[in-house]
Structure 1
Amino acid sequence: MDIYRRYGPALLRKATRLLGNRDDALDVVQGLFTDLYARSALDVELPYLYRALTNRCLTMIRDRNTHTRLLERETPALRGVVRTRCDEQALGQDLLLKLMDRLDEGTLEVLVYRYWDDLDQTEIASVMGVSRKTVVRRMATLRSELVALGAMSAEAARRDAAQDAEEPPHA
């Protein structure tokens, strides 16, 4: 129970930001801790929990999209209701869904850590267990896709890349 008291509130805030829905966030966090308790894996650190939670949230968003598409296709009368529910989170999640179709899991994780959680490259590398150089490469791929989708201007991408190049590695 100590691990939940220690990390649960921060993970719930992160899941709520990502999913845009507190009930879904509670389900994801509860599922994560239930699995940890079932495996008696209670000695994990925050970076592991952070990554596991991010992956669960991305899966839930992907599942929501599939469910919404099936509802719209199978029940035309429900289209307005489904669309209204989705419009609450449309901008962020619509873009995220498009990126999910175009990017690998590692680059999607970088997206979440950088733009939702506001982590710097060194923090992202630490959470993901990869080198800072890998994060820089994935950020470049991400920026290219954002520009291609019209979600980021080429100028903003250049500024972001320049800022990333200047970001000093932490000791």
Structure 2
Amino acid sequence: MTADDSVDLAELYRTHHLQMVRLARLLVDDLASAEDVVQEAFLGMHRNRAALRDSGAAVGYLRRAVVNQSRSMLRRRRTVRAHLKVAEPEIAPPADSEVLLAEEHQQVLRAVDQLPPRQREVLVLRYWSDMSEAEIAAALGISKGTVKSQASRAMTALAQIMAEGGASDESAPR
């Protein structure tokens, strides 16, 4: 790859940063963590941009990095919580969080939060990021068949959670 073929990270940041933060926000449980995940993904891309053979693949690389960073963050949190016996203090959501989304959107998001991680990832990538099954499979490193089965199971579980009114504010933390 020549210097002319290099990825324009500044342009990539301007055009895709907000979209990647939204994606990460749906995968992790707060905006600050989502911003950290996206920042790490961009830093990783900066460190490895010489190895990126196709500048057209930069968005896919970035999306996969965001998904992987989100998974890593959730794994680290789960490990820390398993080893700490001290109760975590309850942190109130930001005052403007209720204004940002309509109540019905918040109910759906709370229901999505109750899904297993892989099902949540598939739904977020499919319906929020509007990715195809093949793109989701590539981003998550799984087969298209697994994407289909996880999406089907997730939709069934989501419908059940919503029907039972299980999308309450007391949903279990990830």
TM range (shorter): 0.5 to 0.7
> Given residue 14 of structure 1, which amino acid in structure 2 is its aligned partner?
Q
1:34 aligns with 2:43: yes
Using the size of structure 2 for normalisation, the TM-score is: 0.56
- Structure 1: which 5+ residue stretches go unaligned? 73-78, 153-171
Report the Cα offset of residue 3 of structure 1.
4.5
Note the 1:88-127 alignment, pairs <5 A.
88=100, 90-91=106-107, 93-99=109-115, 103-105=116-118, 107-127=119-139
Using the size of structure 1 for normalisation, the TM-score is: 0.56
Report the Cα offset of residue 148 of structure 1.
2.2
Q: Can you list the C-alpha shifts for 1:29-74, whole angstroms capped at 9, x where unaligned?
A: 22212234445665173323212213434666896xx8xx8222xx
Between the aligned residues of both structures, percent identity stands at 26
CA RMSD of aligned residues (A): 3.7
Aligned equivalent of 2:12:
7
The structure whose RCO (Cα within 8 Å, separation 6+) is larger is: 2
Note the 1:153-164 alignment, pairs <5 A.
none
Aligned equivalent of 2:21:
16
> Given residue 21 of structure 2, which amino acid in structure 1 is its aligned partner?
T
The worse-fitting range, judged by mean Cα deviation, of 140-149 and 84-93 is 84-93
- Structure 2: which 5+ residue stretches go unaligned? 1-5, 82-86, 165-174
- The verdict on how the C-alpha distance between 1:151 and 1:14 changes in structure 2, with shifts beyond 3 A counting, is farther
Select the structure that is richer in helix.
1
What count of residue pairs does the alignment treat as equivalent?
136
Cα separation, 1, equivalents of 2:35 and 2:52: 21
Report the Cα offset of residue 113 of structure 1.
0.8
Aligned equivalent of 1:132:
144
